[in-house]
Amino acid sequence: MAATIRDVAQVTGVHISTVSRSFSAPHLVNEATRGRVLAAAARLGYRPNRAARALTTGRTYNIGLIVANIANPYFPPLIKAAQAHARERDYHVFVADTDEDPAVEEELVHALAKQVDGVVLASPRVGNRLIEQLARSVTLVLVNRRVEGLPAVLMDMRGGTRQVIEHLARLGHTRLAFAGGPPGAWTNREMRRAAAASARAMGLTLEVLGPHHPTENGGAAAAEEVVRTGATGVTCYNDLMALGLAERLGELGVRVPEDVSVVGVDDISPSRHTRPKLTTLAMPTAAAGRLAVDMLLQLAGDPDASNATATLDVALVVRDSTGPARRS
Amino acid sequence: MAATIRDVAQVTGVHISTVSRSFSAPHLVNEATRGRVLAAAARLGYRPNRAARALTTGRTYNIGLIVANIANPYFPPLIKAAQAHARERDYHVFVADTDEDPAVEEELVHALAKQVDGVVLASPRVGNRLIEQLARSVTLVLVNRRVEGLPAVLMDMRGGTRQVIEHLARLGHTRLAFAGGPPGAWTNREMRRAAAASARAMGLTLEVLGPHHPTENGGAAAAEEVVRTGATGVTCYNDLMALGLAERLGELGVRVPEDVSVVGVDDISPSRHTRPKLTTLAMPTAAAGRLAVDMLLQLAGDPDASNATATLDVALVVRDSTGPARRS
DNA sequence: ACAGTTACTGCAAGCGCTTGTCATTCGCCC
DNA sequence: GGGCGAATGACAAGCGCTTGCAGTAACTGT
């Protein structure tokens, strides 16, 4: 059996409350006494039981991190950064994967609610309505989703998408397509709108494809559509889809970028290795993870801290999957 | 404030113990009573507080999963599978990243110990001695590490490595090299030994390089060594290193696979996209994650369940980074 | 009709810890 | 030397829940 506060108190010859305060309110106990307590604790290998502490204080020192799909290379850097950042602040993190299923997402928030001081909901797939409701039972910080009144860290998808369209336009493309991802994703909506607006402003046509599953298979599924529409420039919901799209286009005898230019979003690591290397929008996922944790801990400590939302810049990385439009 | 067991009891007009039993020992309470309790609970949105429950039962229904590096594509499939599997069994999982640091690893096990029913230690970097000691304070299941008396899920690295060497030998390579990874990794030791043994048995020379960091940079760092030794067949600790190595070799004017054949280990997703596509050993990481969770829950439920260790098969995937030896 | 079950349900202690309250002790001042 | 406040530490209630024990009522068989 692990040592409890009582063991330490007994060994030291003080009351358990003194032991407790030696850890959580050092200034309230005599320096010498505290020294003896700490020594005894160290000797016994005593560590306060966080769960028990949480029972009285209401603070668990745990947070939840819910993501759509751990296996999507977009998330690991975010998870890693969030976890490391939390750990430095003495927080542990529950990581959960919804497998893109909104129902699972909702259930997870509820299940985790009691065990955490708050949860970071990354790229949620549930509706805004439900999010607002969930936010009433647990402190929430959103990533990649804007909901009135809730703290969030966002990426500048509009600016980024505009850069992509401009890039394509500069290369002479006039017929564009957007291969859409999950309909529930805020990012998807932002991109779709921004792409449509930019294309219109520049006098280009833009076909919206999808929705597709945000994976290589989903991208592959969009390939035929692309061919059918005759678009020469395609921007995808994410890199995974772009990769699958490029691969499938190759199989269909369509060369990238000679015949069709393909752009991804996320700049996940595989995109740097493919041939052609993928032109993409790089997302500051690690920074987003850290920032989300910061906001969450802030809020957890002080319930009416500001509910600010931060928007992070994204950067267009031009590589080899985009090139001059073929003259028709 | 969230509803507690007391609220439910009050609304239903029964004692809290009856409410408690309605959830955890249904057969002990009258069907009609239980129905009223459940209805009231649903109406109030009551959910038992797991932390409070754990305090008396000693079971948290949480597990820990500690990995060396979340950002290494090897781990996400394992994490995802383990998490999903655990969730189906009503367990939540703390995921922690040690960033390859043994000290962090030890600290994490200790910090998590009180909050979990056990922890899965994937690809540990700490020494066996310490692992044995840690196992005394928390139920442990190892992945990619063999320690006498502890449950583990292993990969058949010896068989796999032998396959790699044989593959290279068949292609006519006689001067081989092994680009080693973290010295603390069991996998690394197994591979090194198996490679040496196989090479010896087949009359080939094998140079051991490293240790190197198990990343693309580490692989790149091994490139000069490879050139210096004149090896024409190189097998690496993992895919990340193989990718970095191949890339750097290209920069040095060495062609893969014409001049040097490169083999990786793990079959992470980027390896399928590079040009040339990487020949590698595929590891059943998702299965390993599920199995580790199964073993852990088994052990958590029944402390003296068998401490079996399972060994999973790995498969050589021949792609384009290996080819016939150039005749000298 | 009665002892012996059986089926529920209530009671209360206690899991490991925090914290408001109170009793002592001590140093210090006038 | 008496009085005061600060410093220190003990007490005990209580966080939300489980569980051994005991009480009650209805039911069984004879």
Note the pLDDT of residue B274: 87
Residue B68 has φ and ψ, to the nearest 5°, of -70, -35
Task: Please check whether residue A85 lies inside any domain of the structure.
Answer: yes
CA-based nearest distance A76→chain B, Å = 5
A52 has a chain B CB within 8 A of its CB: yes
Give A15 CA → C29 C1' in Å.
33
Question: CA B78, B81, B84, B86 torsion: positive or negative?
Answer: negative
Q: Which nucleotide is nearest to A22 (CA to C1')?
A: D9
Say whether residue B57 is in contact with chain A using an 8 A CB cutoff: no
Place B328 in a pLDDT band, splitting at 50, 70 and 90: low
Q: Given this model, what pLDDT does residue B138 score?
A: 94
Residues 243-302 of A with CB under 8 A from B: 243, 269-270, 273-275
A57 touches strand C (CB under 7 A): yes
Q: Measure the CA angle with vertex B208, ends B203 and B212; round to 5°.
A: 155
Together in a domain, B185 and B80:
no
Given a cut of 80, whether residue A24 has pLDDT beyond it is yes
Over pLDDT 70: what percentage of chain A? 99
Angstrom distance (rounded) from CA B285 to CA B288: 5
Provide φ and ψ at B16, rounded to 5°.
-55, -30
Determine whether the distance from the CB of B328 to the nearest atom of strand C is below 7 Å: no
In the prediction, which pLDDT does B11 show?
93
- pLDDT grade, residue B253 (50/70/90)? very high
Which residues in chain B, range 179-208, keep a C-beta under 7 Å from any nucleic strand C atom? none
Q: Phi first, then psi: give them for residue B157, nearest 5 degrees.
A: -70, -30
Residue A320 in any domain: the answer is: no
Amino acid at A147: V
CA distance A224 to chain B (A): 21
Residues B279-305 have a mean pLDDT of 93
Count: domains in chain B: 3
**Percent of chain B whose predicted confidence (pLDDT) is above 70:** 100
User: Residue B55: inside a domain, yes or no?
Assistant: no
| For range A291-308, the mean pLDDT | 88
Residues B112 and B166 in one domain: no
Residue B267: domain span? 157-283
pLDDT of residue B8: 95
**Rounded to a whole number, what is the distance in Å from the CA of A78 to chain B's nearest CA?**
9
What's the distance, CA B247 to chain centroid?
Answer: 26
* Centroid of chain to Cα B201: 31
pLDDT (tens digit per residue) in B28-46: 999 999 999 999 999 999 9
Chain A 35-64 residues whose Cβ is under 7 Å from strand D: 52, 55-56
Give the distance from CA A53 to its chain's centroid: 30
The answer to whether residue B290 scores a pLDDT higher than 90 is yes
Helix H segments across B149-185?
Answer: 157-170
**Claim to verify: residue A140 and residue A71 sit in the same structural domain:** yes
A24 burial (CB, 10 Å; 0-12 / 13-18 / 19+) is: exposed
pLDDT in tens, B210-220: 899 999 999 99
Give domain status of residue B290, yes or no: yes
CA A199 to chain centre: 28
Reply yes or no on whether the pLDDT at B78 is more than 70.
yes
**Identity of the residue in A51, A69, A114 whose CB atom sits nearest the CB atom of B114:** A51
The answer as to whether A326 is a domain residue is no
Distance CA B161, CA B167 (A): 10
Confidence tier at A93 by pLDDT (50, 70, 90)? very high
Distance CA A93, CA A115 (A): 10
Burial environment of residue B227 by CB neighbours within 10 A (0 to 12, 13 to 18, 19 or more): middle
If asked whether residues A134 and A273 sit together in one domain, one would say no
Residue B317 lies in a domain: no
Residues A194, A171 share a domain:
yes
- Whichever domain contains B86, its CATH number is 3.40.50.2300
Examine the domain organization and report whether A259 and A308 are in the same domain.
no
CATH number at residue A9: 1.10.260
| Mean pLDDT of the B73-80 span | 97
**Structure confidence at residue A79 as a pLDDT band (50, 70, 90):** very high
Beta A152-155 vs A309-312: how paired, if at all? parallel
Question: How does strand A309-312 pair with strand B62-67?
Answer: unpaired
Instruction: Quote the mean pLDDT of chain B.
Output: 95
Distance in angstroms (rounded) separating the CA atoms of residues A259 and A255 = 5
Chain D bases near protein Cβ (<7 Å): 7-12, 14-20
One domain for residues A250 and A226 = yes
- Listing DSSP states for A138-176 in one string gives S-EEEES---TTS-EEEE-HHHHHHHHHHHHHHTT--EE
DSSP β-ladder status, B261-266 and B279-282: parallel
Structure tokens at B303: 């402390």
- The per-residue pLDDT of chain A, averaged, comes to 94
Mean pLDDT (whole number) for B154-182: 97
pLDDT band at A138 (very low <50, low <70, confident <90, very high): very high
Residue B147 maps to a domain: yes
A118-140: average pLDDT: 95
Residue B128 predicted with pLDDT over 70: yes
**How far is residue B79's CA from residue B93's CA, in Å, rounded to a whole number?**
10
Q: What is the pLDDT of residue A145?
A: 96
Q: Has residue B321 been placed in a domain?
A: no
Q: At B292, is the pLDDT very low, low, confident or very high (cuts 50, 70, 90)? A: very high
Q: In this complex, how many residue pairs, one in chain A and one in chain B, have their CB atoms less than 8 Å apart?
A: 118
Q: Do B114 and A2 touch (CB under 8 A)?
A: yes
Name the residues in B23-82 having a C-beta closer than 7 Å to nucleic acid strand C.
27-34, 52, 55-56
Q: What is the average pLDDT across A62-86?
A: 97
The predicted structure's pLDDT at residue A328: 58
Note which residues in 32-51 of chain A have CB less than 8 A from chain B. 45, 47, 49-51
